[in-house]
Chains A and B, each alone.
Chain A
């Protein structure tokens, strides 16, 4: 261990403000980024689910041919 006391550690040889200013900003941003990502992903998934449910309901309620084709998955190759 290089430091004799915690105060000395904080002071960083009179450069504490600069060193800790870097550390704190870097830490905050690098923690904020994944948090924002997780949050964004949650809202996205919620939105997509809502849309999917709305579509399924619409498809179920509305059996008219044009509407049906609107939502029917076309995953078989047309030949």
Chain B
């Protein structure tokens, strides 16, 4: 009897989660657009010129949110993966798979915007410095996670294998974050130019935070959308998906 209850939980959660996610998605899109417009407006229209870097510093409004998100999404992904591994909950595996592509996207954007920033500031697109390298490794970890899951047909096995990889890769996150502290490198430490002129800093900080919030909302919206697709695919033989498909005509 207990088995049945556990089963019910296991299988029912996607079923209840699916419509809930569907309702939430538009709200997150709206918030993402709101914060994005506000942040970009502050960052690109209102915020003053940086004393040291000129106008080039405005890449910060893209680069920092992307970098933060790339690390943060990895943590969330590893969290879900770990939960899935420990408690064998189907939904968490799906969440991890749903987050990975977005995380990879942000890791790539962090590298891309960083490279475009590095050329005018450091005079080079790329250096093999600790933070840059560990961010690159992060991108490869995301790609490895996606490739590993794609290579395994059985979704349950794919979830578990991916979870192990994700958990092993977590060591990389503190390395990225603290690399500037542990090794003195070319890359900016904690916000050099922001402290220079406090009056400007407020605007910059606001722009940056709003952009980061926008990326956050975007990630949630995207992850929910993707997890819904994954659910449909994986649960296609369950009654609730069949009913859903029937309803849609």
- In the complex they form, whether A and B have CB atoms below 8 Å apart is answered with yes
Could you tell me how many residues of chain A have their Cβ less than 8 Å away from some Cβ of chain B?
A: 33
From DSSP, what is the main secondary structure of chain B's interface residues? helix
Q: Does B245 touch A at the CB level, under 8 Å?
A: yes
Residues of A within 8 A of B239 (CB): 73, 75
Contact status A22-B112, CB under 8 Å: yes
Could you tell me how many residues of chain B have their Cβ less than 8 Å away from some Cβ of chain A?
A: 42
Contact status B113-A13, CB under 8 Å: no
Contact status A49-B62, CB under 8 Å: no
Contact with A along B164-201 (1 / 0, CB 8 A): 00000000000000000000000000000000000000
With both beta carbons as reference points, the residue of chain B lying nearest to A50 in the complex is identified as: B245
Question: Can you spell out 6 A-B residue pairs with CB atoms less than 8 angstroms apart?
Answer: A2-B46, A22-B112, A29-B108, A40-B229, A52-B242, A75-B239
Q: Within the assembled complex, what's the spacing in Å between the Cα atoms of A25 and B108?
A: 10
A-B complex: 6 closest residue pairs judged by Cβ atoms: A13-B55, A15-B56, A22-B113, A12-B55, A13-B54, A18-B116
Q: Within the assembled complex, what's the spacing in Å between the Cα atoms of A11 and B245?
A: 52
Contact status A44-B229, CB under 8 Å: yes
Residues of A within 8 A of B45 (CB): 1-3
